[in-house]
Amino acid sequence: MFSKIRKTINDGKKFLITSHIDPDGDALGSVFSLFWAMKSLGKDPLVYLKDQVPYRYDFLPRPPDMVHQLPQDVYDAVFVLDCGSLFRIGDGYEQVKSMGTIVCIDHHETNEAFGTINLVERSASSTAEILYGLYKSMKIAFTENVAVNIYTAVFTDTGSLRYDNTSPKAFAICKEMVEAGVRPSYVAQMVYETHPKERYLLLGEVLGTLQTFDNGRISMAHVTDEMFRRTGTNREHTDGFSEYIREIRGVEAAVFIRQVSERRYKISMRAKGKVDVARICSTFGGGGHKNASGCTIDGDLKEVEAQLKKAFSFA
Ligand code: 5GP
Ligand code: MN
């Protein structure tokens, strides 16, 4: 399974490593861990991420020279991690196709196998779990830089070891990373307890929009540009909001709607195993996992809400 990728790394020197826009813990932990793993092999990796690192992930050991502008260069291989579709890496994604062999390592249900080499394990808790196996097979040491990134990726993509994808393997990897020196309380504090007060002012406004329908099976809430302006916040502060409204008793799917521009909304869905939100998001051109997915819908808020309610009535 890993042999082609092992060979690609061993035979090459210069690599580009990237992941999706709005990077989450798995995207960042995967990309950063691969950077440090390649460094330990004497390689020359470069990390490109379209977006900045969200404040809650500032503590992750990151490459000192990461770039946010797609470099105009060629590589022995371009590693695209935690992306179901290539366009998720952001503007200029088509250029990447001519920059080198594309290695796609991912765990999304809706992965499109866009790589030259594809390592897609849909049953893996996280992309970092797949990388952990690769590192083991290459005898790469779990130094602090690698271990903190792997731990955080697995921990956050399993919703703090709570979601359906929390497997014995996810626990085993976390255990091994803790044995390698990761402090779970430190990671949890950094990820979940470093919010500015403004985030809670925004949360209050968002919860004010909460509605449920279909006998309480579906919860829905939204954030608008105006709410961001009023509370001095931005999209970074909404991370985790879809999980809040999923916690409601009886809710089987939570839908969080975030305004992106005047007539464009980004949708985040979370489920508890009964509703396949990846399928619902794919009807809008999005995707993800059965229990956590996303898509973008154009229109005004009322139209977007109506389209979503319609999509769920067939779920
Ligand atoms: P989130 O709601 O946290 O942004 O995303 C949940 C999951 O769905 C993540 O695994 C993310 O990669 C995936 N996802 C979010 N938005 C999109 C999208 O527009 N298209 C696809 N294919 N996947 C998405
Ligand atoms: Mn992931």
Burial label, 158 (beta-carbon count in 10 A; 0-12, 13-18, 19+)? buried
80-99 confidence digits (pLDDT tens): 999 999 999 998 899 999 99
Inform me whether the pLDDT recorded for 1 exceeds 80: no
SS3 46: strand
8 Å CB contact between 140 and 37: yes
Phi-psi sector, 90: left (phi>0), alpha (psi -120 to 50), beta? left
pLDDT of residue 256: 98
- How, if at all, do strands 77-81 and 287-288 pair? unpaired
- Ligand 1 pocket, Cβ-based, cut-off 6 angstroms: 20, 22, 24, 84-85, 108, 110, 242, 268, 286-289, 292-296
How would you list the strands of the sheet with 117-120, edge to edge? 44-48, 14-18, 77-81, 101-106, 117-120
Q: What residue spans define the domains of the chain?
A: 3-192, 197-313
pLDDT of residue 121: 98
Tell the residue nearest (CA) to atom 8 of ligand 1. Answer: 293
Tell the residue nearest (CA) to atom 10 of ligand 1. Answer: 288
pTM score, whole prediction:
0.94
Inform me whether the pLDDT recorded for 315 exceeds 70: no
| Ligand located closest to 83 CA | 1
d(CA 15, CA 37): 12
- % of the chain beyond a pLDDT of 90: 97
pLDDT of residue 313: 85
Residue with tokens 């302006």: 229
Atom of ligand 1 nearest to the CA of 256: 2
Inform me whether the pLDDT recorded for 225 exceeds 90: yes
According to CATH, the topology of domain 197-313 is Diaminopimelate Epimerase; Chain A, domain 1 (3.10.310)
Label residue 238 by pLDDT band (50, 70, 90): very high
Average pLDDT of the residues of the chain: 97
In sequence order, what are the residues at sequence separation of 6 or more whose Cβ sits closer than 8 angstroms to the Cβ of residue 305? Answer: 220, 222, 257
105-144 confidence digits (pLDDT tens): 999 999 999 999 999 999 999 999 999 999 999 999 999 9
Helices (H), the chain: 3-11, 25-40, 127-137, 144-157, 168-179, 184-192, 197-207, 225-231, 241-246, 277-282, 301-312
pLDDT of residue 84: 96
Tell the residue nearest (CA) to atom 22 of ligand 1. Answer: 287
Gap from CA of 229 to ligand 2 centroid (Å):
30
In sequence order, what are the residues at sequence separation of 6 or more whose Cβ sits closer than 8 angstroms to the Cβ of residue 48? Answer: 16, 17, 18, 66, 67, 68, 69, 70, 71, 89
**Substitution site in 165, 280, 293, 298 for ligand 1 pocket (most atoms within 8 Å of beta carbon):** 293
d(CA 126, CA 159): 11
175-222 confidence digits (pLDDT tens): 999 999 999 999 999 999 999 999 999 999 999 999 999 999 999 999
Inform me whether the pLDDT recorded for 314 exceeds 80: no
| Ligand located closest to 156 CA | 2
**What is the dotted CATH code of the domain comprising 3-192?**
3.90.1640.10
d(CA 236, CA 51): 11
Q: What value does the mean pLDDT take over residues 51-72? A: 97
Q: What value does the mean pLDDT take over residues 270-297? A: 95
